[in-house]
Amino acid sequence: MIQTFYKYQGTGNDFVMIDNRQQTFDKNNTKHIAHLCDRRFGIGADGLILLENHDSLDFKMVYYNADGNESTMCGNGGRCLVAFAKELGVINNKAVFEAIDGLHHATIDNDIVKLQMQDVNKVEKHKNHVFLNTGSPHHIQFEDAINDFDIKKKGASIRYGKLYNEAGSNVNFVKKLSKTTFRVRTYERGVEDETLSCGTGVTAVALAMHYLGETQNKTITIQAQGGELQVTFDCENGVYKNIWLIGSAKFVFKGTIN
C-alpha cells in the first residue's frame, strides 16, 4: 500500500502528518507507525499525527510518539496540525478541534499558529524540581550548564527514576536569561531523547517560572533548541487559564512511502 504523507515542523519539532478522514490508516500497527517515524529506515519524525473528521468540530487530532504508541497531548504537533488542516482546506484562519486532552481553539496567520492549551489548576513544587501537567506530564528543574551536559543520560535517569511510575515524565532543564526569557532543553518520553522543541514542555516551563516567582510577566519567551516560542496566560487564584502557545508551524515536504 502506498501511503501519502506530509511533513511539518514547529521550531524543529517535526511530525509526519496523514489525512485520515477516510479512515484508511491502520492505527493499531505500532510497528508501522514507528517505522514511518524512523530517521534511517522511514520518513523521520518526533511523532505521527492523524487528521480525522469530527461530528461537530473542525477535526480530530490523533497523536503517536515516535515509538509507535498513541500518546498524550503534543503542543507543537497541535500547532502543526492546524497548519496542515488549512493546507487541506479543512479550515481557514481559525479552528476548534478535539485532542486526547479535550477541545482546543487555534488561529493561524501565515505560518504563526496560536494554540490554546488546557487550564492548569495544580503545580507541584518539590525541593529541586517542579511538576505539572499541560496535557502531558512535565518535570522541570534548573540547569546552569545547559549548553554542555548529557541531556539524554540525565533526562532518562529522571524519566525512569523513582520519582515517576512506569509511564514516566517528560523532563525539562531550564536556565533563566532575563525576567521574560528562559532557555529550555527537553528530554521527551516516547522519543527517549532530546527534541529540538516541545510545546507542552515550553508551556509548562513558562507557567512554572511564573509560579516560582522567577517572572511576574504573563507573556514569556522560551528559547528551545529549534527556535523561540511565546506563552501567554492569565492566573486567577492559583489557576492558570487562557493559556496560548504561539510560534511558527511550517510545511517541509510531501511524499509517498510504501
Each residue's pLDDT tens digit, 75-88? 999 999 999 999 99
Q: Which domains does the chain have, with CATH numbers?
A: 3-114+249-257 (3.10.310.10), 123-247 (3.10.310.10)
- Plot region of 60 (φ>0 → left; ψ -120 to 50 → alpha; else → beta): beta
- Centroid of chain to Cα 57: 21
For position 104, what pLDDT does the model report?
Answer: 98
Question: pTM of the predicted model, to two decimals?
Answer: 0.96
- Closest C-alpha among 17, 75, 21, 26 to residue 205: 75
Helix (H) or strand (E) segment spanning residue 200: helix 199-211
* pLDDT tens by residue, 209-238: 999 999 999 999 999 999 999 999 999 999
Mark 170-181 as b/e (b = at least 16 C-beta within 10 Å): bbbbbeeeeeee
Q: What is the pLDDT of residue 224?
A: 98
Cα 218 from Cα 136, distance rounded (Å): 21
What length is written for the chain?
258
What is the reported pLDDT for 258? Answer: 86
* CA dihedral over 210, 213, 216, 222, signed as positive or negative: negative
What was the pLDDT predicted at 166? 83
Residue 61: the pLDDT is 98
Q: How many CB atoms lie within 10 A of CB 62?
A: 19
Q: What is the pLDDT of residue 1?
A: 82
12's torsion region: left (phi>0), alpha (psi -120 to 50) or beta?
left
CA-based R_g, the chain, Å: 17
Residue type at position 129:
H
Contact 233, 187 (CB under 8 A): no
Q: Which residues of the chain have pLDDT under 70?
A: none
By the 10 Å C-beta count (0-12 exposed, 13-18 middle, 19+ buried), 48 is classed as: buried
DSSP letters, 88-152, are HTS-SSEEEEEETTEEEEEEEETTEEEEEPPPB--EEE-SS-EEEESSSEEEEEE-TTTTSS-HH
Active site residues: 74, 198
